[in-house]
Amino acid sequence: MEKGIRVNVKYANTSSEIRSNLKERFGKESAPRAYELKKKITATRQEGNSVSTYYTRLKSLWDESHSIFFPCCSCNKCTCELGKKITAHLEKQKLYEFLMRLDSDFNVIRTHILATKPVPTLRTAYHMIAEDERQRAISLENQAVPEPTAFKAFQRRASYEELDWIDFFKQATQDEKWQNDMQQEIKALKKNETWTLEDLREGKRAIDSKWVHKTKFKSDGEVERYKARHIAKGCIQREGVDYHEKFVSVAKLVTVRTLLVVATKKVGSSINWMSTTHSYMEI
């Protein structure tokens, strides 16, 4: 009982007095409230909620509506059981209201309930629908969800990406695809005389090398070739131990042109320009 209502009945001596007081205050029919409840009942739908949540919301509205304007027999002289028939009729109306606003997922079980003779009670229908909801939830948990076509294509591409980099030399040498390309790389290096074999001088440390493996793909994602390259690991050199000189900084071409133009105007002499597209450095 709310605090504001409890204050008005706290001095009553018996429970009968409390009931009479409350009936006098709230037992009268209120047309605006009855209209409001009917409107709420009509607007109440499942809308993705669980069956239990939907049924509980309707049940609270039905109970309040029943307490406001439901007529009751006070003479206890009815012999035709009209009161029971009215109650059964109202229960059936509640069943129809409950069924008609269920989500479309329950169309099959709803048709089954309405086709049953005699029509099940509201409580029985609720338990049938709740059981159907639980069975559907279990089926969805065990059912494999089909993957979209776009995601399948991504999975296929991702499986190829796993072949892009192989960090371990042993893993590459065990694969025939990589073996063939590594042999072609060695032949090309020998044919072009990229290196010559020399004895390591005393006090010097040889630069290490490694294999880099890359998978080339076509536009449709199909593997085009397996590319293996043998490169020097110059990153392990240390200044003062492996070398003493440093490479000069590279200037931007725009900056060089600007300086040349300024120098030409100040000196007043001509400058010969030579454009180089490729440059090579021997070590």
State pLDDT tens for residues 184-224: 888 888 888 777 777 888 887 777 777 777 777 887 778 88
Averaged pLDDT for residues 13-18: 76
For residue 272, the one-letter residue type is: N
Residue 281 has a pLDDT of 46
Structure tokens at 88: 């059964």
Higher pLDDT: 238 or 32? It is 32
- Which stretch of DSSP H or E encloses residue 228? strand 223-232
* Model confidence at 148: pLDDT above 70: no
**pLDDT tens across 41-58, in order?**
889 999 889 999 999 999
* Model confidence at 165: pLDDT above 60: no
Judge whether 259 and 250 are in contact, CB under 8 Å: no
Judge whether 106 and 129 are in contact, CB under 8 Å: yes
Residue 157 has a pLDDT of 47
Structure tokens at 263: 């120098």
Residue 63 has a pLDDT of 83
Residue 126 has a pLDDT of 92
Instruction: Identify the band that residue 149 occupies on the pLDDT scale cut at 50, 70 and 90.
Output: low
Q: Nearest to residue 46, comparing CAs of 139, 110, 120, 116?
A: 110
Instruction: Identify the band that residue 98 occupies on the pLDDT scale cut at 50, 70 and 90.
Output: very high
- Pairwise CA distance, residues 240 & 232, whole Å: 19
Residue 10 has a pLDDT of 67
Instruction: Specify the residue for token string 């049938």.
Output: 128
Residue 239 has a pLDDT of 67
* Model confidence at 15: pLDDT above 80: no
- What's the whole-model pTM score? 0.42
* Model confidence at 250: pLDDT above 50: yes
Determine the length of the chain.
283
Determine which of 34-48, 84-98, 232-246, 247-261 has the lowest per-residue pLDDT on average: 232-246
- Tell me: cis bond preceding 148? Omega within 30 of 0 counts: no
Q: Rg for the chain (alpha carbons), in Å?
A: 44
* Model confidence at 92: pLDDT above 80: yes
Q: Give residue 276's Cα distance to chain centre.
A: 54
